[in-house]
């Protein structure tokens, strides 16, 4: 059956046979870098269009349908527009930090792509602390946000950035604890181990109650981490400020915008990897016949399907719920989600030790 593994293997073999190992590694890194940038761009395009179409159909209207067949070239037009806009730097802004902030956010987003397994054998860097790496590096994006708010020389940007920062830092705790509960069940931080352990079924089903609880908490926490509704007070239009990216225009704004959507993709990819098996097809225990049939669907399709389903769910939230006030938001995390997730971790540890999972 079709698999990207074959392509990557053949390219790797050809490079190694033609060039010296050092040069081959260098060329591979370059190639991978280009792929990542390409993936970023394509993902950004697809996700923005998906958001607009999904929101439109939920609001009983059509969404973009003029540019390109069925509106698919809409985001290309938007990106061109943003690229041609004037990039203003406000008067008293700290120029260095102002320009650095969007790049920091983008770089962090790209770095997190490293340990994610897109298909069987397609993983940039399978390090032994993959999950910890993801959790740690995603925290760096807060620096970019605070930098953007501070460097804008605008009181309201700073307020918005502080609120965003507080929100992200709080919800990282619940997200982290949910991740840990799956690590406890698997027994390893390595991403490929986690996926391999879901050979006989996804953790969402195998881990029954604690895993479902973890999953729900994780989805809520990452919605808050990526500043999506209903937790998007920092960027709400009908409230006071437009958040930390008020003063940005043109290409820099496009980078923030892109980074937000790629962040959504990344956290959904993590959720898919941990709870829904990543590229692992749906296997039920030892029903070899069923499993064999499921294996016919390429693993990249499995991964993308799961991730995009979760992205759809997160977009669904945005257009259904009203916004939470900042104090309600923080209260939700510290008084409800954190204690529940800590209790859930204990529960998971209990069932892991006792072996009370499928």
Partner 1 sequence: MIEEIAISENGEMVVNLGPQHPSTHGVLHLVITLQGETIKKVEPHLGYIHRSIEKMCESLSYRQFIYVTSRMDYLSSHINNHGCALCVEKGMQIEVPPRAKVIRVLMDELTRLASHQLWWGAMAMDVGALTPFFYAFREREAINDIMEETCGARLTMNYMVPGGVMADLHPNFQKKVKAFISLFRSKIDEYDELVTGNIIFKSRMQGVGYLSREDAISYGCTGPTARASGLRCDMRKLAPYEVYGELQFEEPIATEGDCFARYRVRMQEMRQSLSIIEQLIDNIPEGEFQAKTKAVLKLPKGEFYSRVETARGEFGVYIVSEGGTTPYRIKFRSPGFSNLSALDHMARGHKIGDLVAIMGTLDLVIPDIDR
Binding positions for partner 1, rule: CB under 8 A? 55, 58-61, 155-156, 229-230, 232-233, 236-241, 318-328
Alpha-carbon separation of residue 261 from 36, 45, 137 (angstroms):
15, 9, 17
| No. of helices (H) and no. of strands (E), the chain | 15, 2
Cβ-based nearer residue to partner 1, 162 or 196: 162
Between 283 and 318, name the residue whose CB sits nearer to partner 1. 318
Q: Residue 122 is inside which H or E element, if any? A: strand 122-123
Identify which of residues 58 and 127 has a Cβ nearer to partner 1 in the complex.
Answer: 58
Q: Least distance from C-beta 229 to partner 1, angstroms?
A: 7
Compare residues 253 and 319 and give the one whose CB is closer to partner 1.
319
Helix (H) / strand (E) element for 133: namely helix 130-139
CB-nearer residue toward partner 1: 6 or 328: 328
Residue 230 Cβ vs partner 1, minimum distance, rounded to whole Å: 6
Phi (first) and psi of residue 118, to 5 degrees: -80, -30
C-alpha to C-alpha distances, 188 to 196, 231, 333, nearest whole angstrom? 11, 32, 27
Coil, strand or helix at 117 = strand
CA distance 114 to 349: 28
Closer CB to partner 1, residue 183 or residue 222? 222
Give the up-direction half-sphere exposure of residue 276: CA atoms within 13 A in the CB hemisphere.
21
CB of 188 to partner 1, least distance (A): 38
* Sequence-separated (6 or more) residues with CB below 8 Å from residue 59: 319
Residue among 1 and 240 whose Cβ is closer to partner 1: 240
Please state the three-class secondary structure of 157-191 as a single string: HHHHHHHHHHHHHHHHHHHHHHHHHHHHHHCCCCH
- CA pair distance 51, 314, nearest whole angstrom: 10
Transcribe 81-92 into DSSP letters. Answer: HHHHS-----TT
- Token readout for 12 is 């790797």
The least distance separating partner 1 from the CB of residue 183, rounded to whole angstroms, comes to: 31
Q: How many residues does the chain have?
A: 358
Pick 29 or 59: Cβ nearer partner 1 = 59
Nearer to partner 1, 66 or 155 (CB): 155
CA pair distance 134, 115, nearest whole angstrom = 8
Q: Quick check: 87 and 251 in contact, CB under 8 A?
A: yes
């Amino acid at each position: 059956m079709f698999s990207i593994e074959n392509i990557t293997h053949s390219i790797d073999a050809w490079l190694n046979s033609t060039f010296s190992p050092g040069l081959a590694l260098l060329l591979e890194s370059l190639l991978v870098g280009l792929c990542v940038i390409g993936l970023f761009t394509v993902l950004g395009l697809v996700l923005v269009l998906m958001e607009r179409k999904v929101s439109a159909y939920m609001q009983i209207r059509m969404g973009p349908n003029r540019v390109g067949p069925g509106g698919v070239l809409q985001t290309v037009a938007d990106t061109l527009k943003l690229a041609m806009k004037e990039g203003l730097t406000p008067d008293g802004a700290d120029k260095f930090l102002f320009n650095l902030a969007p790049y920091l956010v983008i770089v962090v987003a790209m770095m997190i792509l490293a340990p994610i397994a897109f298909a069987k054998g397609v993983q940039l860097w399978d390090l032994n602390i993959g999950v910890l790496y993801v959790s740690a590096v995603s925290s760096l994006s807060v620096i970019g946000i605070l930098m953007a708010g501070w460097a804008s020389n605008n009181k309201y940007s700073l307020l918005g950035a502080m609120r965003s920062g507080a929100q992200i830092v709080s919800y990282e705790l619940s997200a982290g604890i949910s991740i840990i509960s799956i690590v406890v069940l698997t027994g390893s931080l390595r991403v490929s181990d986690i996926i391999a352990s879901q050979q006989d079924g996804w953790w969402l089903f195998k881990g029954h109650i604690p895993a479902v609880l973890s999953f729900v908490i994780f989805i809520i926490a990452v919605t808050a981490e990526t500043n999506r509704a209903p937790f998007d007070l920092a960027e709400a239009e009908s409230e006071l400020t437009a958040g930390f990216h008020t003063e940005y225009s043109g290409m820099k704004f496009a980078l923030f915008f892109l980074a937000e959507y790629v962040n959504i993709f990344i956290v959904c990819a993590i959720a898919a990897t941990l709870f829904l098996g990543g590229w692992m097809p749906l296997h039920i225990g030892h029903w070899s016949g069923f499993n064999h049939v499921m294996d016919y669907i390429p693993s990249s399709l499995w991964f993308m399907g799961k991730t995009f389903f979760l992205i759809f769910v997160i977009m669904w939230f945005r257009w259904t719920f009203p916004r939470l006030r900042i104090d309600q938001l923080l209260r939700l995390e510290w008084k409800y989600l954190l204690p529940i997730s800590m209790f859930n971790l204990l529960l998971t540890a209990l069932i892991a030790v006792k072996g009370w999972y499928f």
